[in-house]
Structure 1
Amino acid sequence: MVFRRRDRRPPLRALADFLWPRGGWGRAFLYVKHRVRRLPDSPERIARGIWAGVFTTFTPFYGLHFLVAAIISRLMNGNILASLSATFFGNPLTYVPIGVASLQTGHWILGTEFDEEVDKSLMGKFLDAGGDLKDNLFALFLDKPADWQGLHLFYNEVFYPYMIGGIIPGIISASVCYMLSLPVIRVYQQRRRAKIKAKFEAIKQRAEVDTGC
């Protein structure tokens, strides 16, 4: 209910908004930040959810980030809605630098060579791998030969180094976001509680005055 839209967007409009939200990414970021701060939960659980969501954006499980973030948040006893919102950290403006940093770190850890041209075709490699996987699955049912060589190369050169290499920058980025968001959420909730308390006190005083009259 928190994130449900009142208007149903056509698929092409939804895709366009994902690539470039109306009002730009700055406005979209402020909207998500506002939503996260207003979540009805403790600052610690919300911050842990943010940690899970940001960390998830450094994993190569594209298309499953919501699921992965929810699982990690659940294991950390974090706020799941906050984790889903925090996956916004990974967007079309940040996916390439996140992917390149993860791949460089992964190849460094594994002692393998990093392809300097991968940043120009990172998403293409994932799309091609998905296409190969689909074709091979269809081939199993159509009695056609399946070729797994492309997926094998993708796993060794991209997916596995990305998965291993994303751990370190993911933990660092998620921890920074956790430390920054926790005090902000605490202050916001304290101020909000103070405003609500002041509002009820004002209502109570007016009621007492009316009763006295």
Structure 2
Amino acid sequence: MSFTKFTNFFGKSKKQPDHVATTEKLSETLRSLETKEKLLQKKIAAELEKAKAFTKANNKRAAIQCLKRKKLYEQQLEHIVNSQWRIHEQITMIESAKCTTDTVVALRTGAGAMKKMQKEMKINDVDKTMDEINAQSENLKQIQEAIAAPISGQEFDEADLEAELEELEGLELEEQLLQPAPVVSQYVPAKKQPARMAPCHNTAEEDELAALTTELAL
């Protein structure tokens, strides 16, 4: 097996898309022009220095020759710069075209998918599906109502309940009427008696006088 077939077998030599190969080729050319641009700039600077040196040496003819070569290099440099701009423009256009192509392909894919889904989704099928959903909803509603319905034998007559409530209210009123009336207290507070004077304690002289009076009385 040759090397080419071997690489093709393992997929290592897969061909690149056209826009990728073109962009790479343009980028390679751009790098080559940038190298030439730098070289011409150096040559222009060198001829300018030579012209200055010949001018100082009063060698007018040699200085003019240097300036002529400088002009030629500048013309080449301008051509290279213009070529670079054109390559940049070409790369930008290719990238923009690729982006536009990808967008169109994506839109076309989406439109195809929508068209396929619309073919598979017919209006009759939609109506049938909605009828099935409505029928299931109604069936579920009936089941819920059946579950929530009161159990047989546990239904109550509202009139009987109202009569029983009135009877209870009558008994409550009767019990309140039979209870004895509360006794009102007739207690009247007694008048305050004037406070008695506390007995004063006699002094020693008063005690002696009282004893003397008692003896004389005897």
- TM-score with structure 1 setting the length: 0.26
Q: Does 1 or 2 have the higher relative contact order (CA < 8 Å, sep 6+)?
A: 1
Larger Rg: 2
- TM-score with structure 2 setting the length: 0.26
